[in-house]
Structure 1
């Protein structure tokens, strides 16, 4: 069992969207177990401002932003800082989040027993990125395989991500944890069925290639007379124009956690047609709010939704449209899947045990 006052440094160069939520969730649960937590990160366009960021983390969390001009210089500064803190004994464990941070942490820390104090969660394997050419994806697999032979532990957040990693990467050390929403976020009652108002279909995501906004836009074009469509999140104007264009989709921009909860209370169907994931926090939030979900069949999505019970896992674009229409046209089906989603979230999509899980993994790797 780890020391009750162990010191943990979470590290990421991708401080935005679901990464913020999952790191904050783990940090909060670890702090509740008595750990001292700090977070080292690079800012992205979607990174919350300093005040908003502080509100998401437990009191006493040390937040350190690295900005040395260029991105490359900031990454180097981040790597050297983590290496120095671990070598001096300022922290006991380093947990890197995302592929680049994972590579930096594993390369920066000396091998041997000290290297066993490093842990890495990809939150979506980089070699699954369909926006990259085949040669680049193969290169990511090779890099992951090489680094996986080192002393660090790869910590995965969904069963399909874990199985994929074991098959493709074969890490020397690996573990599976259950991330999720706070149990208090799981609604006790199904959302009220809309009467006299249009039904609403929504997603939560950055407007980027990974989230397949053109798929969401096409469903909106096909079903725009049956419901209103909202994209909760934001992205560059050129990406919005290229992938959503004139589709009947309202883009809200980024919302605070409180605003997001209010927004989800008015959603009837959650449409999440992404190309790759780890364990999507947005989808777990939707299930916790009792929102039937229509999702693409990819890593993470198939773990967060029970096909035919709390939503539908779809094989192609045509099925995304068909299943969304099916839910919009059948209030009884929506209600049944809403009830099932909340039960599923209570059982399998909360973060209640992630603090103890991660601390036990850290201690076991360094025993």
Structure 2
């Protein structure tokens, strides 16, 4: 790529995704914000899906110096992906950006396919490889893995957990893999104080989807009914809630604003996160950084975050999740010690204060 700009000009970065909802919003907000603070010129390109915040909410959330392009919307995913591919190819051919960073498995494949034959500095973060999705049949997961292997040589893979680094190197044979520490601002970390009264509160945050295994949360709530309150914070369809949570003693709340979520975390005693697969779950890191012990599943991302027996429990079966949650409900001293250890763990390994400068340095090392 020929750069005809003046020496010392800001690095021009484009972040692109078709999955602008949930955790992707948080990570793109975090990295773009820190990159602007590091002196880069940053733009975000995205398509609209049901859980995508409105343009007004996006503008309010993102750093004022981050340029948000008008969302692409063809009315369906099948139309949105070609729209994004054409736009990426157009922008790359015009050399409008020095770096293109793709977020999500679908954007990663579509973007790299769109730019075949175009000289561009490409970077890709899956935020949970599609071939790990247990909701897909084995044949489909194998197809996803094959696509990842084929495109692994185009661009540089940037991942945010040690588990993803291992997968990228051993299963995908990716020649260029970089680890980028992500998480929460160090200023947000706090050792929470135990509430003086009221029942123990067990919380989960996330959309009611197959990936988040709401039926497992419901199973724990049923088994421990009367010993604690169980709260699920996150949107989802009424049909999914009825099918997967049903009549379990679980309080349901629509998605909370960041300020509302802080209030919820302040009241939460245990974070129960029974998901089936992850990349690096920001909500889990947020809870641990607020001094909340976690009970979670033994999958990539979750086991990278929670130190079993130290900051919470990492378990496999429903019975093990129930027993670990019961243990924390019954032992306030254990909750306090694990919560304090969780804050220090996040402070050491999962803050995002350096994500801007670190990512820009990765870009510079691998620019085409």
TM-score range, shorter chain: over 0.9
Deviation for aligned residue 1:315: 2.3
| Equivalent of 1:63 in 60, 68, 85 | 68
Deviation for aligned residue 1:110: 3.4
Q: What is residue 153 of structure 2 aligned with on the other side?
A: 149
Q: What is residue 129 of structure 1 aligned with on the other side?
A: 133
Q: What is residue 223 of structure 1 aligned with on the other side?
A: 224
TM-score, normalising length from structure 1? 0.96
Unaligned runs of 5+ in 2: 1-6
Q: What is residue 159 of structure 1 aligned with on the other side?
A: 162
Determine the C-alpha separation between the residues in 2 that align with 1:164 and 1:89.
32
CA contact (8 A) 1:79 1:105 kept: yes
Determine the C-alpha separation between the residues in 2 that align with 1:157 and 1:4.
28
Q: How many residues align?
A: 361
Determine the C-alpha separation between the residues in 2 that align with 1:43 and 1:224.
39
Determine the C-alpha separation between the residues in 1 that align with 2:9 and 2:334.
47
Deviation for aligned residue 1:43: 1.7
CA contact (8 A) 1:220 1:247 kept: yes
Determine the C-alpha separation between the residues in 2 that align with 1:61 and 1:37.
5
Q: What is residue 362 of structure 1 aligned with on the other side?
A: 363
Deviations 1:177-234 (A, max 9, x none): 11101112111xx322223311100011110010101000100111121110111111
* Inter-CA distance 308–172: structure 2 relative to 1 (3 Å threshold): same
In structure 2, the residue corresponding to 1:43 is in which secondary structure? Answer: coil
The worse-fitting range, judged by mean Cα deviation, of 172-181 and 275-284 is 172-181
Determine the C-alpha separation between the residues in 1 that align with 2:263 and 2:357.
31
Deviation for aligned residue 1:3: 5.3
1:313 matches 2:319:
no
Q: What is residue 242 of structure 1 aligned with on the other side?
A: 243
Deviations 1:211-264 (A, max 9, x none): 101000100111121110111111111111110111111111111111111111
Q: Write out aligned runs for 1:154-233 (5 A).
A: 154-187=157-190, 190-233=191-234
Determine the C-alpha separation between the residues in 2 that align with 1:21 and 1:224.
33
1:80 matches 2:86:
yes
Determine the C-alpha separation between the residues in 1 that align with 2:76 and 2:198.
49
CA contact (8 A) 1:295 1:301 kept: yes
Determine the C-alpha separation between the residues in 1 that align with 2:226 and 2:328.
14
CA contact (8 A) 2:186 2:347 kept: yes
The worse-fitting range, judged by mean Cα deviation, of 76-85 and 137-146 is 76-85
* Inter-CA distance 4–191: structure 2 relative to 1 (3 Å threshold): farther
CA contact (8 A) 1:276 1:299 kept: yes
Determine the C-alpha separation between the residues in 2 that align with 1:325 and 1:17.
29
Q: What is residue 3 of structure 2 aligned with on the other side?
A: none
Deviations 1:317-352 (A, max 9, x none): 211110000001001000101110111111111101
CA contact (8 A) 1:8 1:36 kept: yes
Determine the C-alpha separation between the residues in 2 that align with 1:249 and 1:147.
43
1:46 matches 2:48:
no
Q: What is residue 337 of structure 1 aligned with on the other side?
A: 338
Determine the C-alpha separation between the residues in 2 that align with 1:291 and 1:202.
10
Unaligned runs of 5+ in 1: none
Deviation for aligned residue 1:63: 1.5
| Equivalent of 2:96 in 84, 87, 90 | 90
Determine the C-alpha separation between the residues in 2 that align with 1:229 and 1:3.
53
Determine the C-alpha separation between the residues in 2 that align with 1:332 and 1:196.
15
CA contact (8 A) 1:4 1:34 kept: no
